[in-house]
Amino acid sequence: MIKVMFVCLGNICRSPMAEFILKDLVKKSNLENEFFITSSATSYEEIGNDMYSYAKDKLIEKDIHFEKRKAKRLKKDDYIKYDYIIGMEDANIKNIKKIIGEDRDNKIFKLLDFTNFSKDIDDPWYTGNFEVTYQEIYEGCKLFLEYIKNNSN
Ligand code: 4NP
């Protein structure tokens, strides 16, 4: 079982989009039983809130299944529970390390580091451009899954 924790600032836009996009890709690869995928926030702002409506609209437009959920905060002991802790931008990675401490087992990644155009995924809460966010997250998740497939026995 590969356990994946996506992380963003609020856990209402980017990380839940990544959660449901990867779940969709994993399902289409018939690998549902091999993965546990979830997401969380580094901030407390939106804890308990469902995904932001524009993020939901984008997933509906792309025919990606999602469920009602409640934003939760990343916990220190998530580090031992998950194999991959994947943030969206450098500021995220900094905040993840503040919560978790040292990345002893090299589990912390930035999503677009799995692509050949490593960059931050800008916060659509501020940019308002959910299409760009979707495209970047989709590409990151697709290449992350390829990385897993190529690196597991
Ligand atoms: P996210 O976007 O990190 O992609 O979920 C945000 C949503 C809300 C806030 C910040 C970022 N906020 O500060 O309320």
Please list the pLDDT of the chain residue by residue as tens digits (153 residues). 999 999 999 999 999 999 999 999 999 999 999 999 999 999 999 999 999 999 999 999 999 999 999 999 999 999 999 999 999 999 999 999 999 999 999 999 999 999 998 899 999 999 999 999 999 999 999 999 999 999 876
Q: How many of the other CB atoms lie within 10 Å of CB of 143?
A: 16
C-alpha R_g of the chain: 14
Our mutation pick for probing the ligand 1 site, out of 6, 9, 45, 47, counting the most ligand atoms within 8 A of Cβ, is 9
pLDDT attached to residue 118: 87
pTM over 0.75: yes
90 alpha carbon to ligand 1 midpoint, in Å? 15
Is the sign of the CA dihedral 144, 147, 152, 153 positive or negative?
positive
Whose CA is closest to atom 9 on ligand 1? 10
pLDDT attached to residue 117: 86
132 alpha carbon to ligand 1 midpoint, in Å? 16
SS3 (DSSP) at 2: strand
Query: In Å, how far are 17, 33, 131 from 69, measured between CA atoms?
Result: 12, 21, 22
Residues recognised as catalytic: 8, 14, 123
For ligand 1, residues with CB inside 6 Å are: 8-14, 45-46, 123, 125
Place of tokens 């590969």: 2
Whose CA is closest to atom 11 on ligand 1? 10
Which atom from ligand 1 is nearest to the alpha carbon of 71? 5
CA-nearest of 49, 46, 59, 48 to 19 is 59
